[in-house]
Amino acid sequence: MAELRIGNARVFQLPDSCVGDQEIKSDANIDADKMQHLYKPGTIFDLAIGATPVAREEVVFVASTAGTIRGFHAMLNDTGTSTDVDFDLKVNGSSVLSSVVNITNADSDRAVADGSINTPAVSVGDVVSISLAVTSSTGAQGPFAWAEIEETAA
């Protein structure tokens, strides 16, 4: 059982980490600035699901507080017959990946490829973008990429 400490008649303090998700009711009125927010900004590069990938870069997120990039993922709806495309995640124009995410026609349709985040931190005002570079895209369709970004609202 957790130890309870009372500082004075007006202060009630619980030990750190003793209240978690299971102790908070689903209808509890908790300010949003006390929570971690997980965003999943993504892009289809302004293309329809059946459209052939073309080189393009899209701004997907602007950090409103300090945060952490938790993941980056990309896929093609159809990898085609002669395809070689690269997805990159950038912060303020510079890649934050260890290397680009490469998808070729040898990959399965709709298989999600994960990027390795090299520089996960974002600061207030940082602009996050996702780029698509195309070497060949014969028969390829429907590029999609997204990041997972966690921010503390406080």
In this predicted model, what pLDDT tens digit does every residue of 119-154 receive, in sequence order?
Answer: 999 999 999 999 999 999 999 999 999 999 999 776
Question: Is residue 24 assigned to a domain?
Answer: no
CB 79 within 8 Å of CB 135: no
Buried b (16+ CB within 10 A) or exposed e, 115-127: bebeeeebeeebe
Residue 44: which of 52, 34, 33 has the closest Cα? Answer: 52
Question: Is residue 22 assigned to a domain?
Answer: no
> Does residue 5 have a pLDDT over 70?
no
Looking at residues 34-60, what average pLDDT do you find? Answer: 93
Question: Is residue 20 assigned to a domain?
Answer: no
Angle at 88 between CA 94 and CA 107, to 5 degrees: 160
Compute the distance between CA of residue 2 and CA of residue 132 in angstroms, rounded to an integer. Answer: 51
Look up residue 131 and give its DSSP letter: E
Q: Note the pTM of the prediction, 2 decimals.
A: 0.81
Question: Is residue 83 assigned to a domain?
Answer: yes
Distances in Å between the alpha carbon of 41 and those of 7, 69, 129, 138?
Answer: 44, 11, 9, 27
Where does the pLDDT of residue 27 fall: very low under 50, low under 70, confident under 90, or very high at 90 and above?
Answer: confident
**What pLDDT was estimated at residue 4?**
54
Q: Which residues contact 91 (CB under 8 A, 6 or more apart)?
A: 69, 119, 122, 126, 127, 128
Question: In the chain, how many domains are there?
Answer: 1
Question: Is residue 5 assigned to a domain?
Answer: no
Residue range(s) defining the domain that contains residue 73:
33-152
Question: Is residue 118 assigned to a domain?
Answer: yes
Question: Is residue 8 assigned to a domain?
Answer: no
Question: Is residue 68 assigned to a domain?
Answer: yes
Where does the pLDDT of residue 37 fall: very low under 50, low under 70, confident under 90, or very high at 90 and above?
Answer: confident
Give the pLDDT confidence of 48-101 residue by residue, as tens digits. Answer: 999 999 999 999 999 999 999 999 999 999 999 999 999 999 999 999 999 999
CATH number, domain of 79, equals 2.60.120
